[in-house]
Structure 1
Amino acid sequence: MKKYVLTGLLLSGITFSGMAQTKQVSDPKAKTVLDGVSSRFKTLKSVVANFVLKVEGANNSVADSKKGTVYMKGSKYKVTMDGQEIISDNKTSWTYAKDVNEVTINNVDQSSGAITPAKLFTNFYDKDFLYRLTPETTEKGKVLQNVEMTPTDKSKNIFKVIVSVDKKAQNIAKMKVFEKNGNRYTYEITNFTPNAAVTDATFLFDPKKYPGVEVVDLR
């Protein structure tokens, strides 16, 4: 799987139309867990989180595994992962590929249903998912509250997402995405630093730092 796809999944792969096709009601206990994550995140001035993205094929084979870091401040974010960067100041987005030394610039679509890193930690779940609380698990000494989420629009390729929340810290510890074709994508947060020293310049692409970069401006 191409590395561009891996980064894209983190930012925009979980996109749903919001077309409710069922009148089922979500589990209020699951909503309490998710609301706790959202409320805590909104109190933070900034966040720096390290993560590991693991891609598994339909036969349980690990097709790829990559480490990365995400920087967040309000609705702004920057993701770095193995020679790639995605930066957004919530107005403009820059996608940089190191191997070809190229940056693609786009306007941010405010009406898009894409889940950005900031949305992931807030209440992105209310409109486009049904969700229920499943049994707690313990991993690496942490008690995880697991919420199984299914999109209301059943036509999408993604049919299930499991969000695992660190019960004590009220942070998302892991998220696993299931596709109808059998592929699975697991994002594990390995380190979460609240109120880190992150400047606004972090969320702007400075071409001076990338000598000879080719700019593809799609705005």
Structure 2
Amino acid sequence: MKNTIGLSFVFFLMSITVLSQSNENAHVLLDAVSKKMGAYENMYIAFSQTLSNEDAGIKEGDEQPLKGTIYLQDQKYRLSYLGNQFLYDGKTLYVINRDEREISTSENDLSGDDGFIYPSKLLTFYKEGYNLKMGKISNIEGRRIQFVTLNPMDSNSEIVKVELGIDLANSHIFKLIQTGANGSKTTFTITEFRKNETLPNAFFTFNKAKYLSENYTID
């Protein structure tokens, strides 16, 4: 009996050690990705988004993927998504609805309260509020993708799991998968990436006069 208890304790300690190493390796990997991508002057990312929910009978691929593009520079971004443009100059967020010719403004970035990972925090969101562990390595489109699983510490979060897929060849984010508390799974895949482009000085500046001249309503 004593030997059995002793072996069980040893295996328990081994499992704790392996888990700790997995968590540490996950942090090391994401830190390396954040450091590399964060050092670029700016980034252009084109992406596709798919949605699935097995409980609701929605399979990935049932619908055409949504597509979007984003320019990132430090905390600033210019995101085209769902027919709108989101312009964040580091202080104010402008949501430009071209169809309705309306512009809403907010003194804050997109809210992260519901678990949404907003663009300005793409490279740093993992540092707070998540438990990390290394996931599987998958071959996707000829790439070796290392997944890292992030579980929110907040038990009330609408997102129960985030999976980041890292391209091991270049230490870039390739895929982000969010699983919601309702069973839905939203997958963002980077389809094009460019860095250090020459952008106009006012690229992330809201041109109020331009939109007023085009008869936009600004809230």
Whether the TM-score (by the shorter chain) exceeds 0.5 is yes
Letter in 2 for 1:187: F
Matches within 5 A, 1:74-113: 74-108=74-108
Name 1:4's counterpart in structure 2. none
Name 2:150's counterpart in structure 1. 149
Give TM-score, length-normalised by structure 2. 0.80
Shift of 1:110: 10
Matches within 5 A, 1:1-219: 27-58=23-54, 59-61=57-59, 62=62, 65-108=65-108, 115-121=117-123, 123-207=124-208, 208-209=210-211, 211-216=214-219
Shift of 1:69: 0.7
Q: 5+ residue gaps in structure 1?
A: 1-23
Distance 1:109 1:141, change over 3 A: closer
Distance 1:63 1:155, change over 3 A: farther
Letter in 2 for 1:97: N
Q: Is the 8 A contact 2:92 2:109 kept in 1?
A: no
Alignment partners' CA distance in 1, 2:92 and 2:197: 23
Alignment partners' CA distance in 2, 1:64 and 1:213: 31
Distance 1:161 1:196, change over 3 A: same
Q: Tell me the secondary structure at the aligned position of residue 29 of structure 1.
A: helix
Distance 1:52 1:134, change over 3 A: same
Judging by fraction of residues, say which structure has more helix.
Answer: 2
- Over aligned residue pairs, what C-alpha RMSD do you find? 2.3
Alignment partners' CA distance in 2, 1:110 and 1:63: 26
Identity %: 26
89-98 or 192-201: bigger deviation: 192-201
How many pairs were matched up?
Answer: 192
Distance 1:152 1:33, change over 3 A: same
Shift of 1:209: 4.9
Where relative contact order (Cα < 8 A, 6+ residues apart) is larger, the structure is 1
Q: 5+ residue gaps in structure 2?
A: 1-18
Give TM-score, length-normalised by structure 1. 0.80
- Per-residue CA deviations over 1:125-172 (Å, capped at 9, x if unaligned) read 121100100120010111101001100001111100100011111110
Q: Is the 8 A contact 1:150 1:159 kept in 2?
A: yes
Q: Tell me the secondary structure at the aligned position of residue 77 of structure 2.
A: strand
Q: Tell me the secondary structure at the aligned position of residue 196 of structure 1.
A: coil
Shift of 1:214: 1.0
Distance 1:118 1:168, change over 3 A: farther
